[in-house]
Amino acid sequence: MKVQIGIVGDFRAEFEPHGVTNCFIEHAAACSGVEVASSWLGTDKVSDKALEQFDALWIAPGSPYRSVEGALTAIRFARENGLPLGGACAGFQHVVLEYARNVLGFSDAAHAEYHPPAGSRLVLDRLACVVAGKKMPIKLAPQSLVAKIYARTHIVERYYCSFGLNPEYRHRLGDLRVSGWDGSDEARVVELPSHSYYLATLFVPHSAPSSPHPLAIAFLKAAFQRVTAH
């Protein structure tokens, strides 16, 4: 049984995180024994019909997206239909933005990268410290999904982004739990405990053929379990 993975983002071959994302899926598939077919879906091509072909969605790095609404539609589709959903970098940012708008009711929630109008809620803002290009330590909440996947509570991962959760909203996300943070207590991982796999990271997870990333293994496992359950 083949698992269909949709990677939502605007693919550019020259953009390193996109190649890293492909490898992230491919290395896990090769080592997990799960037969996987993955394909990219441009944010400006998102529709419910296009999303229905997938068993799980990964929201890719690479903002600003061609269509913010397309990315948010994909995230909402996964959240409301129980699809396993993961994301990295811009994926993290837009998972937070979708939840703020559609669940918390912050209709004016905005992302600073998109030049929001005056008076809107900057839920996503420029990071206080530059992390792009760096590998940095992260602490994970004990008993969280992400800690269980890594089987530890301290990790080191690599970043590409310049935007993240505005610290003012660190404790205002309702059921969307901040489950990983840096030494300054800034959010680096969010997850939704009510889903089998609904997890996004501000860092971009890297893998190698001989060492698939644990987040990818867990993501494909959740997708496979959903397929077999249906």
- 147 neighbors 179 (Cβ within 8 angstroms): yes
Predicted local distance difference test score (pLDDT) of residue 133? 84
Predicted local distance difference test score (pLDDT) of residue 108? 96
Predicted local distance difference test score (pLDDT) of residue 12? 97
- 56 neighbors 223 (Cβ within 8 angstroms): yes
- Per-residue pLDDT of 109-136, as tens digits, reads 999 999 888 889 999 999 988 788 889 9
Averaged over successive runs of 10 residues, the pLDDT of the chain (230 residues) comes to 95 96 96 91 97 98 96 98 97 98 97 90 90 91 98 97 95 97 95 96 95 96 90
Per the structure block, which two tokens stand in for 125? 């803002």
Q: Find residue 37's DSSP bridge partners.
A: 4
CATH architecture classification, 2-229? 3-Layer(aba) Sandwich (3.40)
- DSSP helix, strand, coil percent of the chain (3-state; round to 5): 35, 25, 40
Phi, then psi, of 91 in degrees rounded to 5: -60, -45
Question: CB 184: neighbour CB atoms within 10 A?
Answer: 9
Residue type, 146: V
| Distance between CA atoms of residues 189 and 46, nearest Å | 25
Closest CA relative to residue 175, chosen from 79, 93, 109? 79
- 47 neighbors 80 (Cβ within 8 angstroms): no
Domain boundaries, the chain: 2-229
Q: 92: part of which helix (H) or strand (E)?
A: helix 90-102
Per the structure block, which two tokens stand in for 202? 């501000």
